[in-house]
Structure 1
Amino acid sequence: MKRREFAAGMGASALGLGLSAPVLAQRQPVEGQQFKRLATPVPTNAPGKIEVLEFFWYGCPHCYIFEPYIEDWAKKLPADVVFRKVHVAFRANVKQHQKMFYALDALGLEARARPAIFAGLQSQGLALDTPKAMADFLGPLGVDPQKFQSAFNSFGVAAKCQQAERLSEAYRIEGVPTVAIQGRFVTAPSLHQIQQQRVSEQVLAQSTLQTMDALIRQVRGK
């Protein structure tokens, strides 16, 4: 979802969902087509490792579709690759979701709660845009409301949000999901349309993962 599309709200359907197409053949991705090279590399935060960042938003339908693919990919990472998510904050209610992400992360509960949050926003039409609404929703998932509220309003979470916004600016993130590789490259499902054909987002997700793997090999020099 592009930054400008956030004004349309969370109810937008995923572009091309349900349209069938053959899985894209594995091939070397082309700069300017399947990925972009940053003019100014961004410093990474994983010494001795290849850092992969996924910029996303809980309320983005494209991120919701991409989620199971990238999570499955992340479970199989080699030892020299580290992966983490960065929640964007393109507008006020998205900022609230960003704070929810980092509050849960501080409590060590984000990964556990993420599927329910995605489903609540995407399938159930929930807003989850106030701390109380979040705490009420997260309580049955095993998140202590008081601990959540304390983390949500903490200096540490505020600092994490500021860091995420600086990263979004440094990588020039204009839409989500977008994946950054080692501070040098960015790719996204939106870059994998074939000659402007409308293909399923599942196919775009698989092609994006292929590009990510190719860029990681390029960073290694293989």
Structure 2
Amino acid sequence: MRSLRFALVAASLIAGVANASPADPKNGAEYTTLSAPQPVQATGKKVEVIEFFAYHCPACNAFEPALNQWVKKQGDNIVMRRIHLPFQGPADPEAHLFLTLEAMGKLEEFHHKVFRAVHVERKKLSTDDAIIAWATSNGLDKAKFMEAWNSFGVTTKLRRLQQVSAAYKVSSTPTIVIDGKYVLSPATVAESNKIQDMGQLMQATSQVMDALVAKAAKTK
């Protein structure tokens, strides 16, 4: 699956001298620029950062701790958003779960629990029934969960996810979009800098994101 791309690249690349510094990323190498920048939700001097991810994606699970640390470090400089890529189409169950938790105001509490369920506890959360059973067995009120799950707002957002991902030209995870136009991933950073160590890759990716946030902030 393409969502595993960065992990496979990082493991298979032969160590060598970096082609460019992650602190000075190059367009077309560590990142690309969308030909049609997308509207941002951030206001004022803040820079919007979007992570396209998927709960079943091992690379996303590996990236999550480093991303959370980076978000904390950036603080008020950014507005962070997450979008679940709908790998299973317009009714993707995992994306449906993410949007439901978001609508319930439970995302902060349950986001890491979903990753743990899939990647540590090896739960198969790939169908609606499995997800609903997991959610209610983990303390969420079933009536409230189903109300949000079936709500107009959640189902509308779910149907639009494929259109949204197409607008950003995102087809793999994890992918980061900064200021609606700069697109990067750990895979692009690994390929451009010939990094094979996972710790170094996380640090280098954070440096690229730092540089692009700073670049975007200059135009605010």
Q: Normalising by the residue count of structure 1, what TM-score does the alignment of the two structures yield?
A: 0.84
Where structure 2 has 5 or more consecutive residues not aligned to the other structure, the ranges are: none
**Residues 186 and 94 (structure 1), Cα distance of their counterparts in 2 relative to 1, 3 Å cut:** farther
Could you tell me which residue of structure 2 aligns to residue 43 of structure 1? 39
Contact 2:37 2:181 (8 Å CA) reproduced: yes
Give, in angstroms, the shift of residue 89 of structure 1: 0.2
Residue 39 of structure 2 aligns to a residue in which SS? coil
- Secondary structure at 2:49 match in 1: strand
Q: Deviations over 1:85-126 (max 9, x none)?
A: 111102259811000000011111122112221122123332
Structure 1 residue runs of 5 or longer lacking an equivalent are 6-11
User: What's the RMSD between the two structures over aligned residues?
Assistant: 2.9
% identical aligned pairs: 32
Q: Decide which of 200, 218, 222 is 2:215's aligned counterpart.
A: 218
Counterpart amino acid of residue 42 in structure 2: A
Query: Which of the residues 125, 144, 147 maps onto 1:147?
Result: 144
Q: Aligned pair count?
A: 214
Which structure carries more helix by proportion?
Answer: 2
Q: Against the structure 1 CA distance between its residues 141 and 13, is the aligned structure 2 distance closer, same or farther, given a 3 Å change threshold? A: farther
- CA shift digits 1:171-192 (9 cap, x unpaired): 1002100000011100100001
Question: 1:32 is matched with which residue: 28, 32, 45?
Answer: 28
TM-superposed CA distance for 1:208, in Å, is 1.2
The one of 165, 168, 174 equivalent to 1:168 is 165
Give per-residue Cα distances to partners, 1:60-91, cap 9 Å, x unaligned.
00000000111121123242410011111022
Please tell me the residue identity of whatever aligns with 1:178. T
For 1:14-163, what aligned pairs fall within 5 Å after superposition?
Answer: 14-15=7-8, 16=10, 27-48=23-44, 49-92=46-89, 95-163=92-160
Q: How far apart are 1:14 and its partner, in Å? A: 4.2
Q: For residues 139 and 92 of structure 1, do their structure 2 counterparts lie closer, same or farther at Cα, with a shift above 3 Å needed?
A: same
Inter-CA distance 41–13: structure 2 relative to 1 (3 Å threshold): closer
